[in-house]
Amino acid sequence: MAVVLSLRLLLSADTKRPSSSSFPKSLKFDKRTKTSVSTPRKGNFNPSHKTQKVNLEISPHRAVSAVRLMRIEMGGAFADLLNEKGKGSGENEMGYVGRTLGFRTRDLEDRDLRLVTDIVGGTIRWKRYLDHLISSLCNDGNTFARMEPLLLQILRIGFYEIVKLDMPPYAVVDENVRLAKVALRHGAGNLVNAILRKLVLLMETDSLPLPKLEGDDRAQARALATLHSHPVWMVRRWTKHLGQEEAIRLMMWNNSDPSFSLRANSGKGLSRADLVTKLNVLKVPHELSSHLNDFVRMKTGLQLVIQAGLLKEGLCSVQDESAGLVVSVVDPQPGESIIDCCAAPGGKTLYMASLLSGQGMVYAVDINEGRLRILKETAKLHQVDGVITNVHSDIRTFSDNNSTECDKVLLDAPCSGLGVLSKRADLRWNRKLEDMEQLKSLQDELLDAASLLVKPGGVLVYSTCSIDPEENEERIATFLLRHPEFQIDPVGRYVPPEFVTEQGFYFSNPVKHSLDGAFAARLARAL
Ligand SMILES: C[S@@+](CC[C@H](N)C(=O)[O-])C[C@H]1O[C@@H](n2cnc3c(N)ncnc32)[C@H](O)[C@@H]1O
C-alpha cells in the first residue's frame, strides 16, 4: 500500500510542475543548465499523439528510459514510479517521449516496461560509477563537463547496459547511436558511437579505467564512492561507524534489486493464506515472512500484483517487514488510544488500525495535508477508517494545544532514509550531509512534543528508516537526559531476538536481515 500511496502522491506532485506553456512542445537540448522537459499531465493525456511521427527503428525502452531519466534529474519525476504503475503506464511514458523528443516509438510491451524499470533504477544507482567511466573515455574534460543532458543520459544507458546488464555490446552501441542521431543530431550519434566502442574494447581486454583502493582514508573513500556509486560523505560516515568491509557490504545491498513485502489486509478480511492463494493464481513467486504473520516477501512480480488490482481493491499493501516490525514494537491492543505523530501516508497507521479489531482509536497526525488526504482515502478503502481520526497539524502545535494523553504514541520521524537506499534509487544523490544536522534537531523537537502526549504509564515509540546512530541511539540518549520520566522498555518481548540491540532497541540491518534498515526505541513513561 505504501507503494500505491506514494504513486498517488507522486502523480499529484507531477501535476504541480511548472505550466506547460513554459516548455516547448518538443526540444533539442542545448546546454545542461537550460534543459527543459515537457510537463506531465494526468492520464492518457496526449490527444495529438496520433499525428506525431512514429519511429519504429528506435527501441521504445531506450527512448522512454532516456526521457524518464531526464525528467528525474530535473525533479519532474520519481525514480521508482514505474515500479508502481499498472495498466496504461506504457502509454503515459510514450506520451512524455512524444512531447519531449517530437516522435513516438512503437508501443511499450510489458517486457519493455520491465526493462525501463531496470534501466532507470540501475542507471540512477550507478550514476557516479558510469559518469566516471564516461568522462574517462571522453577525449578531454570539457566534452564531459559540457555534455548536453539527453546525450549524457543516452551514454549512461549504453554504459549501464553493457557494463552492468551484460547486454550484447554491439547491438547496444547501434541502438543508442540511432537514438542519439534521431533525438539529437548526426554528430551526437557519432560521439556516442566513438565512446561506446572504446568501452567495448576496454571491456574485452578487462581494462576499465577504475580507481584503485589505495592512499589515505580520503582517497580510499573517494575510490569506494566511485566503485560502489555512492556520495563520498556517505562512504566516510559508514566507514567510520561500520568499518570498511561492512560499509562495502551495505553499498552492495543498496545497489542490488530491491525486494518487496506484501501485507494481507485483515481489516478487509483477507488472511495471509488468502493472499498466498491469489499470488499462486498470478504465478508470483513469494515466501512467507518468518517474522510477521500477515506478510509475504517477493522479489519479482509486483507489476502483476498491481495489474491484478490487489492494491487498488485494498486487499493488501506493499509494506516492508522492517516497517511492520516497528508496529510490533508499538504492539497495538484493542481498546487502546494511539497517536501516530507523523502518520502520512499511513503505512503504519493502517497496520496499527487493522490490529485494533474495531475497538480503540488511532489519531493520525501529519503536517502535510495532501499526504494525510491519501491516508484518509486508503483507510476507507481498507475498511479501517472507523478506528482512525485524521488530524492535519504540526505535532508541535498539536501537543501545545491539546491536553490529550494516550496509551501509546508513535513518532515515526522524518529522517535521512539512509536505510531504504535500495528501494529509493535516487535518494542517495538528493540527500546532503548538511541535512543530517537539521534532521537531528527536528527529531529532538518532535520527540519532546510527542512525549507530552503520553499518559503516565504509557508508551512512546520513536522510529526511523535510518541506519545512522546519530538519528537513532543518539537521539534517544539525549531525549532521556531531557526527560527522566521516561525509560527504555526493551523490545525483546515484541520482535524476534535477532532484531534486538544490546541497549534493547529494535534495529533491522539491511545487510544482516535483507530488509530495509529501520530503528525503533520503546520508552515507558513513569506512572
Ligand atoms: C517518515 S514519514 C512518515 C511515514 C508514515 N509513518 C508511514 O508509515 O507511512 C514522516 C512524516 O512526517 C511528517 N511531518 C514532518 N514534520 C512534521 C511535523 N512537524 N508534524 C507532523 N508531521 C510532520 C511528514 O509530512 C511525513 O509525512
- How many Å is the maximal CA-CA distance in the chain? 76
Q: Provide the 10 A C-beta neighbour count for residue 140.
A: 8
Is the backbone of residue 331 left (phi > 0), alpha (psi -120 to 50) or beta?
left
**What's the pLDDT score for residue 83?**
44
Who lines ligand 1 at CB under 6 A?
A: 323, 342-348, 365-368, 371, 394-396, 412, 414, 446
**What's the pLDDT score for residue 76?**
67
Q: Tell me which residue has its CA closest to atom 16 in ligand 1.
A: 367
Nearest atom in ligand 1 to the alpha carbon of residue 2 is 9
Nearest atom in ligand 1 to the alpha carbon of residue 371 is 27
Helix (H) or strand (E) holding 524: strand 518-525
The per-residue pLDDT of the chain, averaged, comes to: 88
Instruction: Quickly name the fold that domain 260-318 has.
Output: Alpha-Beta Plaits (3.30.70)
Rg of the chain in Å (alpha carbons): 24
**What's the pLDDT score for residue 14?**
29
CB within 8 A of 383, min separation 6: which ones? Answer: 267, 268, 314
pTM over 0.80: yes
In the chain, what are the domain boundaries? Answer: 2-204, 217-254, 260-318, 321-525
Asked: is 321-525 a CATH 3.20.20.30 domain? The reply is no
Q: Tell me which residue has its CA closest to atom 27 in ligand 1.
A: 344
DSSP conformation class of 515: S
pLDDT in tens, 419-477: 999 999 999 999 999 999 999 999 999 999 999 999 999 999 999 999 999 999 999 99
**What's the pLDDT score for residue 88?**
56
**What's the pLDDT score for residue 158?**
98
**What's the pLDDT score for residue 29?**
32
* Per-residue pLDDT in tens (0 to 9) along the chain, 527 residues: 333 333 333 323 322 333 333 222 333 333 333 333 333 333 333 444 455 688 888 999 999 999 999 999 887 676 664 444 444 566 788 888 888 888 888 888 888 888 998 999 999 999 999 999 999 999 888 999 999 999 999 999 999 999 999 999 999 999 999 999 999 999 999 999 999 999 999 999 999 999 999 999 999 999 999 999 999 999 999 999 999 999 999 999 999 988 899 999 998 889 999 999 999 999 999 999 999 999 999 988 888 898 899 999 999 999 999 999 999 999 999 999 999 999 999 999 999 999 999 999 999 999 999 999 999 999 999 999 999 999 999 999 999 998 889 999 999 999 999 999 999 999 999 999 999 999 999 999 999 999 999 999 999 999 999 999 999 999 999 999 999 999 999 999 999 999 999 999 999 999 999 999 999 999 999 99
Distance 343 CA to ligand 1 centre (A): 5
**Residues annotated in the binding site for S-adenosyl-L-methionine, as ranges?**
342-348, 366, 394, 412
Strand partners, 500: 506
pLDDT in tens, 120-167: 999 999 999 999 999 999 988 899 999 999 999 999 999 999 999 999
**What's the pLDDT score for residue 43?**
35
Cell 545491498 identifies what position? 253
**Residues annotated in the binding site, as ranges?**
342-348, 366, 394, 412
Cell 583502493 identifies what position? 213
ipTM of the shown complex: 0.99
Separation of CA 15 from chain center? 20
Nearest atom in ligand 1 to the alpha carbon of residue 344 is 27
How many whole angstroms separate alpha carbon 329 and alpha carbon 505? 9
Phi, psi of 522 (to 5 degrees): -105, 120
Cell 506553456 identifies what position? 21
Pocket probe mutation, ligand 1, options 328, 342, 384, 396, max atoms within 8 Å of Cβ: 342
Cell 535521512 identifies what position? 416
Helix (H) or strand (E) holding 274: helix 272-282
The candidate with the shortest Cα–Cα distance to 7, out of 256, 261, 318, is: 318
CB 63 within 8 A of CB 180: no
Q: Show the CA angle centred on residue 479, arms to residues 475 and 481, nearest 5°.
A: 125
Nearest atom in ligand 1 to the alpha carbon of residue 346 is 9
**What's the pLDDT score for residue 54?**
86
The CATH class for the domain spanning 2-204 reads mainly alpha
Buried-state track 240-264, b at ≥16 Cβ within 10 A, e below 16:
eebebeebbbbbebbbeebbbbbbb
HSE-CB at 149 with a 13 A cutoff on CA atoms is: 22
Distance 118 CA to ligand 1 centre (A): 29
Q: Could you list the active site residues?
A: 465
The candidate with the shortest Cα–Cα distance to 514, out of 271, 177, 254, is: 254
Q: DSSP letters of 51-108?
A: GSEE-TTS-HHHHHHHHHHHHHHTTSS-TTGGGG--TTHHHHHHHHHHHHHSEE-SPP
pLDDT in tens, 472-520: 999 999 999 999 999 999 999 999 999 999 999 999 999 999 999 999 9
